[in-house]
Amino acid sequence: MRLFVTGGAGSLGSNLIEHLGNRCNEVLVLDNFATGKRAALLPRPNLRIVEGTIEDFGLVRELVESFRPTHVIHSAASYKDPNDWARDASVNVLGTLNVLRACENVDVQRLVNFQTALCYGRPVQVPIPVEAPVTPFTSYGISKTAGESYLRSSTVSWVSLRLANVTGPRLAIGPIPTFYKRLKSGEPCSVSTTVRDFLDMSDFLSLLDVVLESHATGIFNVSTGEGHSIHEIFQVVANHLGVPEALPHSIHEPGKDDVPTVVLDPSLTNKVFKWSAKVGFSETISKMLHWYDTNGITDIYSHLQEKK
């Protein structure tokens, strides 16, 4: 396997490279390090790292044509600034087009695209089936959905995975690192009434193994299918840090850029790939918190706009 990974320095990218690296003849990573960290990519003889952006078609085409990957994992995405619509469109739409066009010029056997569950907007049915309408309303969701749509016109064998909240080493987005960092520092926390699904990194990687070898194409939800409240997360983190009496500074309803409940239905994925999540909620969150105990937290990002 010759593996090309866009956005390989992020949490998903770096974990999958650690997981797949020894099975690959060569691994090529393209990342602009806007949210990923170079230090997340441990040195290995078969790994080459290029700093750059998928917005640069000349660079993407040059890398793909010289490297000639057999498998491509498209993990790069723009979400750092919810108000930077132009950058989101440039990376998530045009950047995806650049990757697709470059892959069509070489013998790529498989392209795996990572998609956000925010593509469903405010769903009318929960858990959300994969055939549910896509009605994104945030810049990140809109741009990622537009990029995913172009996959349907590609001649490459592709799969798009619509992801729950994948939880594992170097996670730097969402309520888990936010609560951990703030509670550890004695800072107040704001807790929303929203509900999300959380998937352990080991379960995600076990699915990826199957997807890369499969000939199935299309769009699939990746999730446990179970929802848990953000308040549950808060309490688990507080108990872990030894401050079980901690109270949220405020409890608020979802803002206009948020969704009350996002829980994906993975039944089609279970059927097609003979896969299901094995790690339960408590173990998933506990593993994440113990990782922070050892490694700490640096930056934290959010898809949501900062509350005024």
Domain match, 36 and 180 both = no
Question: Which segments within the chain are labelled E, that is strand?
Answer: 2-6, 26-31, 47-51, 71-74, 110-116, 158-163, 165-167, 190-192, 195-196, 198-200, 218-222, 228-229, 250-252, 261-262
In this structure, the answer to whether residues 27 and 68 fall within a common structural domain is yes
CATH number for the domain harbouring residue 285 = 3.90.25.10
Q: How far apart are the C-alpha atoms of 262 and 228, rounded to whole Å?
A: 10
Please say if the pLDDT value at position 200 is more than 80: yes
Same domain membership, residue 264 and residue 135: no
Same domain, 38 and 155: yes
Strand arrangement, sheet containing 110-116: 47-51, 26-31, 2-6, 71-74, 110-116, 158-163, 218-222
Tell me if 91 sits within 8 A of 78, measured CB to CB. yes
Residue, of 104 and 307, whose pLDDT is higher: 104
pLDDT tens figures, 145-158: 999 999 999 999 99
d(C-alpha 168, C-alpha 172), whole Å: 10
Q: Please write the tens of the pLDDT for every residue from 68-85.
A: 999 999 999 999 899 999
Q: Which two tokens stand for residue 248?
A: 């949220």
- Do the domain assignments include residue 305? no
CATH at 204: 3.40.50.720
Q: Are residues 235 and 144 in the same domain?
A: no
Q: Do 151 and 39 share a structural domain?
A: yes
The residue ranking higher by pLDDT, 308 or 225, is 225
Mean pLDDT of all residues belonging to the chain: 94
Q: What is the pLDDT of residue 308?
A: 45
Residue 32 CB coordination number (10 Å): 19
